[in-house]
Amino acid sequence: MAWEDVALKQKTRVSDAIPTEWRLKSLPSTDSVMDVPKESGILTPEELAITESFAADLVKDLAVGKLSSVAVTTAFCKRAALAHQLVNCLHDFLPDFALARAKYLDEYLATHKKPIGPLHGLPISLKDQCRIKGFETTMGYAGWIGKIDSENSVLVDLLDKAGAVFYVKTSVPQSLMVCETVNNVFGRTVNPRNKNWSCGGSSGGEGAIIGFRGGVIGGSIRVPAAFNAVYGIRPSHGRLPYAKLANSMEGQETIHSVCGPLAHSVGDLRLFMASVLEQQPWNFDSKVVPMPWRQAEEESIRVKISSGGLTVGFYSCDGNVTPHPPIQRAVQTVVDKLKGAGHTILSWEPYKHPFAVDLANRVYASDGGTDIYAALNLSGEPAIPNIKDLVNPNLKKLDLNEVWQCQLDKWNYQMEYLSAIRDFEAKTGRILDAIVAPITPTAAIRHNQFKYYGYATAINVLDFTSVVVPVTFADKNVDVGPKNFVPLTDMDAAVHEEYDPEVYHGAPAAVQIIGRRFTEERIMAIAEEVGRLLHS
C-alpha cells in the first residue's frame, strides 16, 4: 500500500474516534477558535469550568471525591475532540481507554477512602513520543504506523502510578527536530489563537491543546509554550526520566533531549515535577540523578523575593539574530517589573552563543541524516521542507574522532560559561540568580517562517534549566519595528524581513527565565514571581 493511503487511513481512524455528539456541525470561519468551546454547546457549563481550572485545584477536588475522574476526564475528552477538529492536534484519541481508567480510579477512591497518588484522576495529555502499552507511537512517520508498543515509557509508568489518566497523544513534526508541527500523516497543527500562526514544535500538539484548554498539563516544552501563551519548563538532563520515549537519532549523546511539562501556571508545572519525582524515577531510568524535590531550594528563593533581593541578568539579543519588536518589548517589560519590585537587574552579555548554535547544528547533522532518512525510507514518504533545511543528507558525516571533538567542545564551552558567570559575580559582588532572555526571536510565527532556533539551542547546549513565562501579545500600534535596520548576520536579515506588525498583531510573546543546571525549584519560583508581577 502506498504511504499516502496508509497515512490517510491513520488520519481517518483518529478522526473517527470522536463520538458523533462531540463533532462540530461546521467549522468557524474566524482565524481564532478560542471561543468555540463556549459557543458550540458541546460542553456543559460544569465541563467548561472544569477545563478552565488549574490542575492543582482539580487534584484537590479529585482527591476528596468532590469531582469524579469520570466527569473531569469526560470534560477534557470533549474539549480535546473540539481541539482536534479545529487545529488538528492529535495523533491518537483514546476516550474509551481514558474513561475506563477514570472509572477504576473513582471506584478505588470510594473503596479505599484515599487517592491512588498525587495526580489521582487527572487527565494528562501525552506528546506522541510517549509510549503507551497497546497503542501506536508514530511520531508522524508513515513507516511507523501499525507498530504497537509492548511497554510504557518510564515517564508514562510513573505518571500512571501517580494516578494520571491518559486520553490523547498529541501531534509532533516529522522527526521531532523542528519548531513547526507538520508531518505527512496528519498534516499541519495550527495555533488556536490564530490558524495562520505556528503552534511551535516539537511539541506543537501539546502547545495547541494546552493553549486551547483541551488539556491541563502536558509536555514538552519552550517554543510551544511561548507560541501558545502558557508556561513550560525545560529541566536539565537527568532530572526527569526520558527512558523508552521514542526519538530521532537515539544514541546521540552530545546534546541530550529532555522532557518537561506545559501548563497554565507555575503551580501546575510544580505539581507535575513533584509528582514524578515522588515516584523516585532514578530507580527506573539510570540517567536520572537521585534528586528528590527540594523544597528548601524553592524557599531560599522565596526569601530573596520577599526582600527584593534577587539578582537577575538579562539580554535582548544573542549576537546572531535581533528579536522582533514584540519580543524585545516582552524582555523589557519583565526587566521593568522586576526593577519595580526592588530587585537588582543587570545586563548580561551572552557568552559565545553563536558558537553554541554552530556546534549544535554540527551535532544534529553529524550522521548525515541517516537516522531520519532511514525512517522515511520505510514508507517512501518525502522529508518535510523543514527537515530538508535542517538535515541535508548530502553533508559529510562526522567520524568518531570528530564526534568526540564536538563533545569536548561542548564540555569546554559549558565550563567557559560558568567562568563567565563567576567573573560577572566577582565584578558585581552579587550572586546571579537567573537570566531573562528571549526564547525565540519572534512572537507566534507564520507557517513555514521559523528560521532561527538559536535562543533555545544555546541553552540546550549548556543544559541549563529554563522556564517559559507568557508576557504579552504583539501590538501593531506599539511594535512598529526599527527604521534603518542593520542586520547582524544573513540570518538576522531573513528573520527581520519576515516581520509585519499587522500580521503579528495579537501573537503571544514570551521570555525564558534561565538558571544553572539542576536549579528547577529555584527558577520555577522566580518564574512564578515574574508571572505574579506581570499579571496581578
C-alpha cell at 81: 475532540
Residue 384 annotated as part of some ligand binding site: no
Residue 9 is a catalytic residue? no
Residue 220 is a catalytic residue? yes
Residue 462 annotated as part of some ligand binding site: no
Rounded to whole angstroms, the Cα distance separating 428 from 207 reads 38
Catalytic one of 40, 68, 125, 127: 127
* Residue owning grid cell 528573520: 495
Rounded to whole angstroms, the Cα distance separating 126 from 90 reads 10
> 147, 136 in Cβ contact below 8 A?
yes
Question: Residue 38 burial (CB < 10 Å; 0-12/13-18/19+)?
Answer: exposed
Catalytic one of 69, 153, 202, 248: 202
Residue 202 is a catalytic residue? yes
Rounded to whole angstroms, the Cα distance separating 215 from 207 reads 9
C-alpha cell at 154: 518510564
Residue 220 annotated as part of some ligand binding site: yes
> 451, 494 in Cβ contact below 8 A?
yes
Question: Residue 303 burial (CB < 10 Å; 0-12/13-18/19+)?
Answer: exposed
> 301, 525 in Cβ contact below 8 A?
yes
> 81, 23 in Cβ contact below 8 A?
yes
Residue 219 annotated as part of some ligand binding site: yes
Catalytic one of 175, 220, 248, 366: 220
Q: If you write DSSP's letter for every residue of 514-534 in order, what string do you get?
A: EESTT-HHHHHHHHHHHHHHH
Residue 327 annotated as part of some ligand binding site: no
Radius of gyration of the chain (CA): 22
Residue 336: CB atoms within 10 Å: 12
Rounded to whole angstroms, the Cα distance separating 466 from 294 reads 17
Q: Which residues pair with 167 in a beta bridge?
A: none
Q: If you write DSSP's letter for every residue of 237-254 in order, what string do you get?
A: TTSS--TT---SSTT--S
Residue 202 annotated as part of some ligand binding site: yes
> 152, 129 in Cβ contact below 8 A?
no
Residue numbers annotated as active site: 127, 202, 220
Annotated binding residues: 176, 202, 217-220
Annotated binding residues for substrate: 176, 202, 217-220
